Amino acid sequence: MSASGKDSVTIAVNGSNRSLTAPVLHGTLGPSVVDIRKLYADLGMFTYDPGYGGTAAVESKITYIDGDEGVLLYRGYPIEQLAEKSTFLETAYLLLNGELPNASEREAFENGVIRHTMLHEQIRQFFNGFRRDAHPMAVMCGVVGALSAFYHDSLDINDPDSRRISAFRLIAKVPTIAAWTHKYNVGQPFMYPRNDLGYAENFLYMFHAVPAEPYTVNPILARAMDLILILHADHEQNASTSTVRLAGSTGANPFACIAAGIASLWGPAHGGANEAVLKMLSEIGSVSNIPDFIRKVKDKNSNVRLMGFGHRVYKNYDPRAKIMQKTCHEVLSELGIKDDPLLELAMELEKIALNDPYFVERKLYPNVDFYSGIILKAMGFSTSMFTALFAVARTIGWISQWEEMSRDPEQRIGRPRQLYTGSQRRDFVPVAERS
């Protein structure tokens, strides 16, 4: 971040002689920012920006998005290159440490993660406290938050070694928790992790295998899973990442912060969208019902949205959606699914929406979730697991952003202000005197 003396913005209060000359700070890519930290001290005012659409709340070196051009970079590397050439754990190392690892760093990182995949045996008991039909995200919030009660040795957030071991524990244990959540839902025995398998492979094994028979993970599906994890690994200062940072800014421990991120991810406007897409496609039912559905989406009184379309930042095709679409075809072909009615419906819906002025004028394009649900369903995941899988992938993004925040000398407790529009000061009236 740099500020040159001549770059500034002057904010003048009309009708008074008060003004603020605010420095303009420049990043390495993307829009510059106006540093308004002195606004309240100098002008006695706050900025008003519901949804933070025009506010940079942090300085970050991790992920860059150019929403107009449809560009996504992790530590400078295009998502398309990482999707094609990297693995999830290598990408995780990159996000966490800033550089791609050399061969020995990569091996040490992978071994570090793999050594932490098991859960404390007492954590098994936690699952029994949930109803069998509990939503996986409810279980994930509870069990991930509960990890803080098991790792007192690594809760000192000012100690880099503690932060590092917590990062390993989270990246390694979240897939085990997600897989066990599913096993609990369907009433099958929990499968213990296998450290001889790759990260995505092990996850598929814990999810699909049963102790009664051998299970071999299909390598094409393991690669597709790894790719899905890479695509969802980080996405700049989105709602759940900002939630993790806000919780972390208070000094809360990383397990509690990631549990907060999981809660934030759950909503249908964020990570819950892939589940919502599949529900929407099932409700539409057939290609002939698409025009009627699109009419409802465009009717402002209906509250119906085309799920998997639109994004706060991308005003172009989400680059992840393009990769997802290709992977979707590969997975369906590997599984021998020739004519998937949901995929057919999704492709027709996409074609119609991309040519409809309502979507074109608002720059609404498919996002990452438009196709991910179809792939995940084909791979045997229940719809309610979709957001939990997103949480497995995003844990590395959350922990990388939390780590960056922990090292940032400018980090302060997150504390937004407000425009108060409630009552003026008034005196309490006893109940007998109220009309």
Residues acting as catalytic residues: 311, 369
Reduced to 3 states, what is the DSSP secondary structure of residue 413? Answer: coil
Shortest Å distance, C-beta 301 to ligand CMC: 12
Q: Give every CB contact of residue 272 below 8 A, 6+ residues apart in sequence.
A: 137, 265, 266, 387
Other C-beta atoms closer than 10 Å to the C-beta of 403 total 22
Q: Is 153 exposed, middle or buried (0-12, 13-18, 19+ CB in 10 A)?
A: exposed
Shortest Å distance, C-beta 295 to ligand CMC: 12
- Interface pattern 296-335 for ligand CMC (x via CB under 6 A): -x-------xxxxxxxx-----------------------
Q: Give first-to-last CA distance, the chain, whole Å.
A: 59
Rule CB under 6 A: is residue 366 a binding residue for ligand CMC?
A: no
Shortest Å distance, C-beta 370 to ligand CMC: 7
Region at 50 (left for phi over 0; alpha for psi -120 to 50; beta for the rest) = beta
Rounded Cα–Cα distance for residues 339 and 306 (Å):
23
Pairing of strands 33-34, 19-26: antiparallel
Rule CB under 6 A: is residue 362 a binding residue for ligand CMC?
A: yes
Shortest Å distance, C-beta 406 to ligand CMC: 24
* Residue from 201, 226, 350, 369 binding ligand CMC (CB under 6 A): 369
Nearest to ligand CMC of 252, 364 (CB atom): 364
* Residue from 367, 400, 401, 406 binding ligand CMC (CB under 6 A): 367
Rule CB under 6 A: is residue 137 a binding residue for ligand CMC?
A: no
Phi, psi of 34 (to 5 degrees): -95, 125
Q: What is the dihedral of CA 129, 131, 133, 137, to 10 degrees?
A: -40
Rounded Cα–Cα distance for residues 76 and 299 (Å):
41
Rule CB under 6 A: is residue 364 a binding residue for ligand CMC?
A: yes
Sole window of 97-105, 160-168, 264-272, 379-387 interacting with ligand CMC (rule: CB under 6 A): 264-272
What pairs with residue 21 in β-bridges?
Answer: 10
Rule CB under 6 A: is residue 269 a binding residue for ligand CMC?
A: yes
Nearest to ligand CMC of 176, 238 (CB atom): 238
Nearest to ligand CMC of 201, 318 (CB atom): 318
Shortest Å distance, C-beta 64 to ligand CMC: 15
Provide DSSP, 265-277: HTSTTTTTHHHHH
Rule CB under 6 A: is residue 26 a binding residue for ligand CMC?
A: no
Residues in the chain: 435
Nearest to ligand CMC of 124, 296 (CB atom): 296
Rule CB under 6 A: is residue 243 a binding residue for ligand CMC?
A: no
Rule CB under 6 A: is residue 368 a binding residue for ligand CMC?
A: yes
Sole window of 38-46, 126-134, 193-201, 265-273 interacting with ligand CMC (rule: CB under 6 A): 265-273
- Within 220-239, which residues bind ligand CMC (CB under 6 A)? 235, 238
- Within 283-302, which residues bind ligand CMC (CB under 6 A)? 297
**Amino acid type, 391:** A
C-alpha count within 13 angstroms, C-beta hemisphere, residue 26 = 8
Q: What angle, rounded to 10 degrees, do the helices at 369-378 and 319-334 form?
A: 20
């679409």: which residue's tokens? 325
Q: Which residue is nearest to ligand CMC (CB)?
A: 310
Give the residues lining the site for ligand CMC (CB under 6 A): 235, 238, 269-271, 273, 297, 305-312, 362, 364, 367-369
